[in-house]
């Protein structure tokens, strides 16, 4: 990723009446862009007209463009009375959410405002977002399309209205407590205090940063202001099928962030593995294979099915910790060890503890399931915090 900055102004430049400037008196605007050379010049002009006179600011563009957007930004920045930074990423890691995370990390103010680069989010609202946050003592201020005075005018004639409403309903249904008081969790326009942003909130990046912030580490106080979602000025939307799938995966990851939730999903995936297991067993025995080797071979089909679902759904963001061949071998060993362990365990429960066969079998299934889940997490998909801690020690 290249890092270029044009600084024609100073962040601590004096502003007009001090009584109108909420402390701490500065804001960083984080703007992700993608092939928006037709938008950014107008956006910087709107920011210049509405923000510096009320609130000292800097602008950080995180650019994933394949056109000349970075050059247009640098040229337009020469006329701006505030610092403008361009972070151009050669690879769009994490999509839109990854771009926002990079910009937030580079921000230099106590208040950070995240907004789109297509002029749909009015820059004139930026000082009001910060002022509202200061007056309310809030850590997060959401610009909402669903409050009185706000609207979705920019999507009024688009099929995306229905998709946006469905996504909003789904997220609020999945996180009713964490999203209480946030009417527009899908908003890409919000202000947050730097003190509320931590590394664990931004990683792994998701396609909706506000949603991740609210769910992973909801600020101590949240408030909202209405805004009108304007028509796109130029360029094309980044909303694609790929971004939609990324959003669903991100939503699933947030919902299964806790160990109990992951264990439930792990169990459901394990149950689904009975289908290919039994189908393979039937085919092998029908082909004349003895049932004992057929059982062993059929179990591998269930193991493969479970592994693929775990890779794509439950542990998608942890796959980088080990090579795929290493993960495959470890998971196969753990899954087959379950069969080897279960029979001796049942014998122990029946012979030493006097349990009947049926309850002993149920208890053995529960024990081996918990062990299989714990082993899969610890030995196949190492948690990030362990890898980070080990890396930090090796660098020390």
Q: What is the pLDDT of residues 343-389, one digit of tens each?
A: 788 888 888 888 887 788 778 878 888 888 888 888 888 754 544 44
Sheet holding 140-144, edge to edge: 2-6, 84-88, 57-63, 27-33, 111-114, 190-193, 140-144, 222-226
Predicted local distance difference test score (pLDDT) of residue 317: 72
Phi then psi for residue 43, to 5 deg, are: -60, -45
Predicted local distance difference test score (pLDDT) of residue 348: 86
Report residue 211 as tokens. Answer: 């949603």
Report residue 132 as tokens. Answer: 């509202």
**Among the residues of the chain, which ranges form H helices?**
37-50, 69-77, 95-106, 126-136, 160-174, 199-202, 209-216, 241-255, 259-272, 274-286, 291-309, 324-351, 357-375, 384-395
CB 202 within 8 A of CB 215: no
Report residue 277 as tokens. Answer: 């297991």
Q: Would you say the C-alpha torsion 256, 261, 265, 270 has a positive or negative sign?
A: positive
Higher pLDDT, 43 or 368: 43
Mean pLDDT of 74-98: 85
Site of tokens 């931590």:
198
Predicted local distance difference test score (pLDDT) of residue 19: 46
pTM of structure: 0.65
The gap from C-alpha 290 to its chain's centroid, in whole angstroms, comes to 49
The gap from C-alpha 126 to its chain's centroid, in whole angstroms, comes to 24
- Residue 355 region, left (φ>0) first, then alpha (ψ -120 to 50), else beta? beta
Spatial separation of the C-alpha atoms in residues 229 and 257, rounded to whole Å: 32
Mean pLDDT of 52-71: 91
Predicted local distance difference test score (pLDDT) of residue 237: 53
Percent of the chain with pLDDT over 90: 22
Spatial separation of the C-alpha atoms in residues 198 and 386, rounded to whole Å: 17
Predicted local distance difference test score (pLDDT) of residue 198: 67
Burial (CB count within 10 angstroms: exposed 0-12, middle 13-18, buried 19+), residue 379: middle
Helix 324-351, helix 357-375: angle, nearest 10: 150
Indicate the range of 115-124, 229-238, 317-326 predicted with least confidence: 229-238
Check if CATH label 3.60.15.10 holds for domain 2-255: no
**pLDDT at 12 > cutoff 50:** no
Helix-strand-coil split of the chain, %, nearest 5: 55, 10, 35
* Dihedral Cα 103, 105, 110, 115, nearest 10 deg: 20
Predicted local distance difference test score (pLDDT) of residue 201: 57
Spatial separation of the C-alpha atoms in residues 20 and 297, rounded to whole Å: 74
Query: CB-based contacts of 202: which residues, under 8 Å, 6+ apart?
Result: 101, 104, 105, 209, 212
Mean pLDDT of 259-266: 84
Indicate the range of 1-10, 148-157, 240-249, 329-338 predicted with least confidence: 1-10
Q: Which of 145-149, 223-227, 283-287 has the highest mean pLDDT?
A: 223-227
**pLDDT at 179 > cutoff 90:** no
Predicted local distance difference test score (pLDDT) of residue 176: 81
Report residue 255 as tokens. Answer: 């919902």
Mean pLDDT of 175-200: 82
Predicted local distance difference test score (pLDDT) of residue 389: 42
Spatial separation of the C-alpha atoms in residues 114 and 189, rounded to whole Å: 5
Predicted local distance difference test score (pLDDT) of residue 386: 45
Higher pLDDT, 246 or 277: 277
Query: CB-based contacts of 276: which residues, under 8 Å, 6+ apart?
Result: 301, 302, 304, 305
Predicted local distance difference test score (pLDDT) of residue 381: 85
Count of other CB atoms within 10 angstroms of residue 189: 24
Mean pLDDT of 149-159: 60
CB 265 within 8 A of CB 313: yes
Phi then psi for residue 338, to 5 deg, are: -60, -40
Predicted local distance difference test score (pLDDT) of residue 73: 93
């Amino acid at each position: 990723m290249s890092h270029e900055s044009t600084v024609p102004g100073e962040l601590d430049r004096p502003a007009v009446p001090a009584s109108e400037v909420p402390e701490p008196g500065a804001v960083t605007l984080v703007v992700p862009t993608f092939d928006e050379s037709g938008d950014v010049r107008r956006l910087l002009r709107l920011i210049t007209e509405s923000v510096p006179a009320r609130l000292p600011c800097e602008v950080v563009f995180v650019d994933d463009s394949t056109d000349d957007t970075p050059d247009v930004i640098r040229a337009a920045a020469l006329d701006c009375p505030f610092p403008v930074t361009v972070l151009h990423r050669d690879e769009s890691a994490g999509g839109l959410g990854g771009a926002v995370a990079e910009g937030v990390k580079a921000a230099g103010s106590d208040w950070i405002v995240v907004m789109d680069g297509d002029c749909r989010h009015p820059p004139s609202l930026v000082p009001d977002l910060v002022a509202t946050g200061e007056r309310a003592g809030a850590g997060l201020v959401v610009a909402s399309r669903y409050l009185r005075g706000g609207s979705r005018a920019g999507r009024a004639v688009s099929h995306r209205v229905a998709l946006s409403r469905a996504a909003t309903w789904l997220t609020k249904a999945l996180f009713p407590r964490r999203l209480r008081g946030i009417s527009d969790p899908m908003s890409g326009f919000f202000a947050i205090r730097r003190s509320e942003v931590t590394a664990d909130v931004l990683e792994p990046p998701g396609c909706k940063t506000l949603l991740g912030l609210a769910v992973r580490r909801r600020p101590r106080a949240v408030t909202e202001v209405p805004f009108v979602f304007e028509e796109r000025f130029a360029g094309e939307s980044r909303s694609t099928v790929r971004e939609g799938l990324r959003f669903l995966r991100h939503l699933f990851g947030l919902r299964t962030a806790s160990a109990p939730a992951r264990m439930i999903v792990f169990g459901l995936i394990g149950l689904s593995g009975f289908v290919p297991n039994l189908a393979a067993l039937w085919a092998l025995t029908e082909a004349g294979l003895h049932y004992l080797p057929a059982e062993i071979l059929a179990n591998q089909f269930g193991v493969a099915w479970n592994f693929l679902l775990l890779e794509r759904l439950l542990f998608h963001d942890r796959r980088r910790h080990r090579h795929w061949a290493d993960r495959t071998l470890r998971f196969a060993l753990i899954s087959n060890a379950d069969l080897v362990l279960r029979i001796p365990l049942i014998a122990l429960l029946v012979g030493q503890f006097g349990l009947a066969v049926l309850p002993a079998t149920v208890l053995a299934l529960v024990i081996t399931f918990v062990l299989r889940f714990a082993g899969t997490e610890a030995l196949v998909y190492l948690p990030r915090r362990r890898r980070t801690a080990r890396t930090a020690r090796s660098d020390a």
